[in-house]
Every structure is written in structure tokens, then in C-alpha cells.
Amino acid sequence: MDLTRNQRRFLEVLLGWLLFSSSVVLLLSWTSPVHRAAIGMACGLILLWVLLCGGMMWRFRGRIIPMVQSIRLDWRVKFVLFCTLLALTEEAITTSMTNCAPLFGVRIGQAYITASANYLDVIALHGVSLFVSFFVGWAVLLWRYDFSPFSVFVLFGITGTLVEVLFAGPPHVLEYAMWTYVYGLMIWLPACCVPKDRGARSPRWWHYPMAVFAPFLFMVLFPLLGVISVFFPHHPRIHFPPMR
């Protein structure tokens, strides 16, 4: 749970990159009301999810971890449920930012950072339904291999960056710092709650790149999105027109 000096330095550099790049992009987009609003929403996400929620997770981890470990459920079930709860919290923040569009000087749907302004639609038919399969995948990985919580944070951040690149295009790889914190915080604290005496073996070097891509396999083994697409075949990928 405690971080080494190099791990702390990595997180500090990553956070510095995130704050600096967000400030630069905000300044560059200042003359465009729509893009300024979208960047402002992203900054709100950084403030509320990364700095506030992430800071609270770190500050109160000593109380939260024993409490979660004391719950009488299989640790894999607790892990998936805890990750899902945090993902629901993150999506509540992003959807709130989308609905705050008038505060940023534009209409709802003119600038956005979620596929919909409806929270239930976002969690059921877009983001969280995909994340759950990833969380199941990580529960299996942690069952077999003793990845540290820091490694889980970084690796799932890379997976999240790939998701954003696949969804919105290659330029989003430059947002690696933001997506590492956004996705990594969904899974870091639950990983801290995983019992040490579960019989997992130490991962080899090739298990780390494997863990970046392995969660995608569970989209097939745990096909929530596939089931959803059967019942909602014409559901739009994004409910808003392109931002211009």
C-alpha cells in the first residue's frame, strides 16, 4: 500500500503533466466557446475525481481497507463490486459536468464529456457496462498473480487510455496522464483490499504487458455490452452532434 520513492515521483510527474497539459489546452481553446466548455468540464473531472476523490481515497485508505476486508463476501466479488461503485461515482461526476454546460456558457449537448446527459443511460448503455467486464478480468488476474496496487493502477490506466484511443481516435494517447488517473483510481483502492494470503504467485515481466490487454478478453467472456446491443440495437454511440 505504501509507495516507494520512485513510485511517488512517477505519480507526481504524471500529475504535474496532467495539470500542465490541461492548463495549456484550456488556454489554447479559450477563443472557442464550445471547446473551452469541454476542457472546462474535463478540468472539473480532474478537480472532483482525481484531486478530491483520489485524495480522500489516499487519506482514508487506512480506515476503508479493513472495513472492506471485514465484509463477509468472497474477495473477488468484493473487488468487482467496489470497482463498480467507484466507476459509478466517476461517471456521476462526468455526467454532472456534461449537464453543467450552461455554467460553461454553452447549451447542453453543445459541449460534453459523456455520451449522454442521462446518468442511467451513461452507466447502463455506455461506460460502466464495459468497465464491469474489465473488473472481472482483473479479479481473475489478481486471483492468479500478486500484482501490487501501484502496478494495477498503472496497468489499468494504460488499458483505459487504449479504450479512449479506440473510442475517440489516436490523438487521445496524449491524454495518457489524465486517463491513468481517471481509470486507475477506479481500481487502486479495491486492489489494496485484496488479501495477501490468497495464494497468488509473483508475476513475471511478461505478465505486465499481458495484464494491459487481458481485460479486453473478458468483454467476450462477460458480454454485458453484447447483451445490451441485443435489446437496444439502435442505441446511438453518442447522443449529441459533433462538437465544432
User: What is the percentage of the chain residues whose pLDDT exceeds 70?
Assistant: 93
Q: pLDDT tens for residues 38-50?
A: 999 999 999 999 9
Of 73-82, 136-145, 213-222, the poorest mean pLDDT is in: 213-222
Q: pLDDT tens for residues 158-182?
A: 999 998 898 777 877 888 999 999 9
- The three-class DSSP label of residue 206 is coil
Which three cell numbers mark 225? Answer: 455490452
Q: Is the pLDDT of residue 233 over 70?
A: no
Cα torsion angle, 223, 226, 230, 235, sign: positive
- The three-class DSSP label of residue 232 is coil
Given a contact cutoff of 8 angstroms between Cβ atoms, the answer to whether 160 and 179 are in contact is: yes
Which three cell numbers mark 94? Answer: 462526468
Of 36-50, 114-128, 177-191, 204-218, the poorest mean pLDDT is in: 114-128
Q: Is residue 21 very low, low, confident or very high in pLDDT (cuts 50, 70, 90)?
A: confident
How far apart are the C-alpha atoms of 22 and 37, rounded to whole Å?
13
Predicted pLDDT of residue 10: 93
Which three cell numbers mark 195? Answer: 488479501
Q: Is the pLDDT of residue 190 over 90?
A: yes
Name the DSSP letter for residue 46: I
Residues 71-86 have a mean pLDDT of: 96
Given a contact cutoff of 8 angstroms between Cβ atoms, the answer to whether 153 and 126 are in contact is: no
How far apart are the C-alpha atoms of 74 and 24, rounded to whole Å?
45
Residues 106-133 have a mean pLDDT of: 88
Q: Is the pLDDT of residue 228 over 70?
A: no
The whole-angstrom distance between residue 31's C-alpha and the CA centroid of its chain comes to 30
Mean pLDDT of all residues in the chain?
Answer: 90
